[in-house]
Amino acid sequence: MTSALDSVVDFITKYFIDPITQHSGYNIINTLTYAIILAIGTYFSIKFLEKINVRIDKRLILGLVPFMVFGGTSRALVDAGVYPDTPLLITPFIYINIAIVTIATMVVIRILQQRKGIDFHRNVFYVGTALATINLILVAINLERPAAFVYILGSFGALYLPLLLISRGHDGFLRGNEYIVGAHIFDAATTFTGIQFYGYIEQHVLTGYFIDHLGPLVMFPLKIIFITLSLYLLDWIIPEEDKDNLSIKNILKMVILILGLGPGVRNMCTILMGA
């Protein structure tokens, strides 16, 4: 019995606790586990938003972008030693905590909307912007590598702008998903810059495999192909006419956006602060 318990403890320590406390990155076990937790969280998020009568649409997604920036900058400020190095601010717990802050904000704003008639989306955006601005000021105070900003924006623009032009010239193949694809190209730009110019390493299992064999430039085609195809299939499976399942499609798009923008902001700010 003790031996079996020790084995379980060793397993949890090796695949979950050590990657958090030692910042050793991801492995196949914790990656799959976090994916399952994300799926469960997505399901309950849909139910919660339906419960408080909030429509899950593009306006809500864009209104929550500041909270994604807040999460990414918070993680970077941990890397830089500005915020305490606590598991609460490290994956996966930082996602949970940012979600709690976001949900609490929406609940409060929803109550105020019902009682005072304030605009829900606008005020949610304002709260997120205030939180993100505080972190961005701290990033600016601790800035050490301003040139990295040029590398990131340069590589981002070099791919994203032509993609937009191609999309507009071919009946908009991005289908209104430009901002989501852009977030992942931005994430790719930060990964490429960090590895190519500043000696960082990729911590994710799958992308790390491709980078090890093909170099950091591979992040751009990987992101563009995989994300564009995923969004195209999602729009095909759940068309706009399918009103019953639009909430599912839109929250999945929000999750895809978070998985691009959050890490991208964290990477950029970590590089800029030399952490």
Q: Could you read off the pLDDT tens digit of each residue along the chain, which spans 275 residues?
A: 556 666 777 777 777 777 767 766 677 887 788 878 888 888 888 888 888 888 888 899 999 999 999 999 999 999 999 999 888 888 778 888 999 999 999 999 999 999 999 999 999 999 999 999 999 999 999 999 999 999 999 999 999 998 888 887 776 667 788 999 999 999 999 999 999 999 998 888 788 888 999 999 999 999 999 999 999 899 889 988 887 788 889 989 999 999 999 999 999 999 999 98
Per-residue pLDDT at 246: 86
Per-residue pLDDT at 192: 96
Per-residue pLDDT at 172: 65
Per-residue pLDDT at 125: 96
Per-residue pLDDT at 63: 92
How is residue 68 written in tokens? Answer: 């994604």
Per-residue pLDDT at 132: 97
Instruction: Give domain limits for the chain.
Output: 145-275
Per-residue pLDDT at 193: 97
- Residue 18 to residues 9, 25, 31, 207, Cα–Cα distance (Å): 12, 9, 14, 21
Per-residue pLDDT at 146: 94
Closest CA to 270 of 70, 72, 85: 72
Per-residue pLDDT at 5: 67
Place of tokens 């430009």: 178
C-alpha span between 22 and 20 (Å, rounded):
6
C-alpha span between 76 and 111 (Å, rounded):
32
Per-residue pLDDT at 119: 93
Global model pTM greater than 0.95 = no
Closest CA to 73 of 208, 255, 271, 220: 271
